[in-house]
Amino acid sequence: MLAKSLRFVKSTIATLSIVVFLTLLSVLGGTWFASMEASSAPLEESISCPPVVKDKIYRHIEGLDKCLTPLSDSEIEKLTDPFAKTLQGLLTQQKPLPDDTQTINQAIADKWGYGPTTYFVGEGAQIPTTVAARDLPRGLRYTITWGANENESKIMMAKLSPAIPETKTLGLIEVLSFDDQTKEYNYYFLRPQVPDFEASDKNPMVWAWTGHTSQAQQPQTIGQGCFRCHHNGVPVMREIELPWSNWQSQRANISAQFLPKEVASEAFFLSRRGAEILEQVIRSNFQGYYSNWLRQRIRKEGSTINVSDVDQMLRYLTTNTTVNFKSSDVQSAGQNTSPPDSDIAGVPPNDTFLSDTLLQTTLKLDYSPLSVKLPRKDYDAFLKEHDFKLVGTKGFTRDSEKAYESPGSTYFALYLPQVAAEDIYVTQKLLQSKVVTDRFVAALLMVDYKNPLFSEKRASLQKYAKGITTGKIVNGVSSVPTDFAAKIKEKGFKAPSNPEDFDASSPEEQFLYTWELPNDQWKQVTADRLKAYVKSVENLEPTERLDYVMRWSIEQRDRFASTPALCEFYESRLLFPENDLSELPSCPKPTASN
């Protein structure tokens, strides 16, 4: 099947339909090509699935289903989100189901009266035509939301751009829709029957229900299909903070002059809104989901509060359940700054060097996050010396054939992986609910604290969390932190007696060191350690400091690019600059162990 997939890619690489196929899910965090490649590997070349029929709703949950199978009437009725009801209404009226953006938009308007709000993004959207012709691939796509107003999203869709008439029914479309009854997101995909990627008269595009939020973490479906990038089963926005790199926003206008003419004249492009609005929509979506998820698991019974699924809650502290990305707020190219050739200030971005939001803002530890200024002249010289460039490809995936090179770095300088907004929010809610304490959170975050992202050491502590499925809060005191510490001590671990041994200690020893500090000392001791780390970089000579920060940023890219599951976000080669200091790592294939 994989060989067949690759033959299809090669044979159609010059057509827009394959670009549709390769790029569809990137806006909402999905990577359809990657999920198809991974899930298709076990399938035989001779796989045979029954033909599908237009205007029926099917099921295809990767990890559970090999073929699209039709849903029964009773199964369809159990889907009660707005998009499902839109499709059900059309079936009841014996009307055709929508198969492109225009008919989807019309069907939603007819059913609910919602109008679309459109957002535009592209890793190559700011590359000038002096470097790459406007019709070369730039990873351009939309997120479209529907709700009572632009601040509400009941239905969300990923759409490729451009959508010209010749290919409008070939676009594989993903839709997310929130179900008020189940309090979960349902996922839908417009696609032909397995194993084909392109529709035909015999194998038309049909709607398939592809799962719901809770399946994102179930053993058979974790990391499969849409959950390869929607790691927690909720809507995602990779660049969720100012300056919203790669998006049309109040910080960066995407010029029509850099885009294909078909895109520049599209109604969806002309009506695009800023990423600053989408940020609030996405935050509202995942915050609403997690608030309800926690309410169902933290319940008061008499004078006791019982807590369930503790192991799942602690996963947001011990691991990076997903990842966001953030850059400085200064353009990488000096001619784009105001005034021209401004230094690169505010480096590194928040929550990339340390878990600053949790450590400083939430726990109120007394230290200042690292924030230095890189001299423009030295920054530009470093990029030139080490051959920094963005590489565009003929297809969307990283391994596609090179189409062009754009000297320099991303539009905003120092684009880096960032501690996920979801993980921060859940941790803050656990603190508010008194499931965990400030000192417990600090003890976990200080394990391998110099690596707030992709820490194997901190993630190794999740094995202790797996042994704690329930907890109790009595008189405001939770059993969870002490139960967790007890499980570590049961294995014979002790806190290091010498503070100077902290960095070389095991994850368990590092945890116990902070956990066992006296209540009137742990904040100051922890803050002092963070200050020393920040000062070690601040006190470097300017040239040495720039070299350190730039090389560290490359290491962060490489660690992200080689971290299983999370690296699925790295679908476009344009996402990060390449250079002569480090060869771009490949993304490991998902396995049962990761």
Q: Are 178 and 320 in the same domain? A: no
Q: What pLDDT, on a 0 to 100 scale, did the predictor assign at position 352? A: 98
Q: Are 208 and 301 in the same domain? A: no
Is residue 262 a part of any domain in this protein? no
The CA distance from 289 to 213, in Å, is 10
Q: What pLDDT, on a 0 to 100 scale, did the predictor assign at position 238? A: 95
Cβ–Cβ under 8 Å, residues 444 and 359: no
Is residue 45 a part of any domain in this protein? yes
Q: What pLDDT, on a 0 to 100 scale, did the predictor assign at position 68? A: 97
Is residue 591 a part of any domain in this protein? no
Q: Are 389 and 484 in the same domain? A: yes
Cβ–Cβ under 8 Å, residues 61 and 176: no
Q: What pLDDT, on a 0 to 100 scale, did the predictor assign at position 394? A: 85
Q: What pLDDT, on a 0 to 100 scale, did the predictor assign at position 574? A: 94
Cβ–Cβ under 8 Å, residues 351 and 369: no
Q: Are 416 and 509 in the same domain? A: yes
DSSP state of 169: T
DSSP strands (E only) in 184-237: 184-191, 206-212
Question: Could you list the residue range(s) of the whole structural domain that residue 180 is in?
Answer: 2-117+145-239
Q: What pLDDT, on a 0 to 100 scale, did the predictor assign at position 171? A: 57
Q: Which helix (H) or strand (E) holds 174?
A: strand 173-179
Q: Are 537 and 396 in the same domain? A: yes
Residues of the chain with pLDDT below 70 are 1-46, 162-172, 197, 396, 590-594
Closest C-alpha to 313, from 498, 484, 446, 488: 484
DSSP state of 96: P
Q: What pLDDT, on a 0 to 100 scale, did the predictor assign at position 132? A: 94
Is residue 258 a part of any domain in this protein? no
Cβ–Cβ under 8 Å, residues 55 and 171: no
Closest C-alpha to 488, from 530, 447, 428, 433: 447
Is residue 54 a part of any domain in this protein? yes
Query: Helices in 332-437 by DSSP H: which ranges?
Result: 356, 376-385, 421-432
Q: Are 103 and 183 in the same domain? A: yes
Q: Are 348 and 199 in the same domain? A: no
Is residue 554 a part of any domain in this protein? yes
Q: What pLDDT, on a 0 to 100 scale, did the predictor assign at position 399? A: 82
Q: Are 461 and 538 in the same domain? A: yes
Crossing angle for the helix pair 2-12 and 32-40, nearest 10 degrees?
Answer: 140
Residue 174 phi/psi, 5-degree rounding, is -105, 135
Using the 3D structure, point to which of 239, 269, 284 is the last residue of a domain: 239
pTM greater than the 0.85 cutoff: yes
Q: What pLDDT, on a 0 to 100 scale, did the predictor assign at position 23? A: 34
**Torsional class of 302: left (φ above 0), alpha (ψ -120 to 50), beta (otherwise):** left
Cβ–Cβ under 8 Å, residues 164 and 262: yes
The CA distance from 151 to 148, in Å, is 8
Residue 121 phi/psi, 5-degree rounding, is -145, 155
The CA distance from 9 to 221, in Å, is 26
Cβ–Cβ under 8 Å, residues 179 and 159: no
Domain count within the chain: 2
Is residue 201 a part of any domain in this protein? yes
Cβ–Cβ under 8 Å, residues 221 and 215: yes
Residue whose tokens read 């599209």: 266
Q: What pLDDT, on a 0 to 100 scale, did the predictor assign at position 229? A: 87
Cβ–Cβ under 8 Å, residues 106 and 82: no
Respond yes or no on whether the N-terminal peptide bond of residue 348 is cis (omega within 30° of 0). yes
Q: Are 397 and 528 in the same domain? A: yes
DSSP strands (E only) in 382-517: 389-393, 402-407, 416-419, 470-474, 477-478
Cβ–Cβ under 8 Å, residues 12 and 18: yes
Helix (H, G, I), strand (E, B) or coil at 69: strand
Instruction: Enter the tokens of residue 431.
Output: 């603190």
Is residue 263 a part of any domain in this protein? no
Q: Are 191 and 340 in the same domain? A: no
User: Mapped to the 3 state alphabet, what secondary structure does 278-330 carry?
Assistant: HHHHHHHHHHHHHHHHHHCCEEEECCEEEEECHHHHHHHHHCCCCEEEECCCC
Q: Are 232 and 331 in the same domain? A: no
Cβ–Cβ under 8 Å, residues 406 and 131: yes
Q: What pLDDT, on a 0 to 100 scale, did the predictor assign at position 46? A: 60
The CA distance from 382 to 439, in Å, is 41
Q: Are 234 and 323 in the same domain? A: no
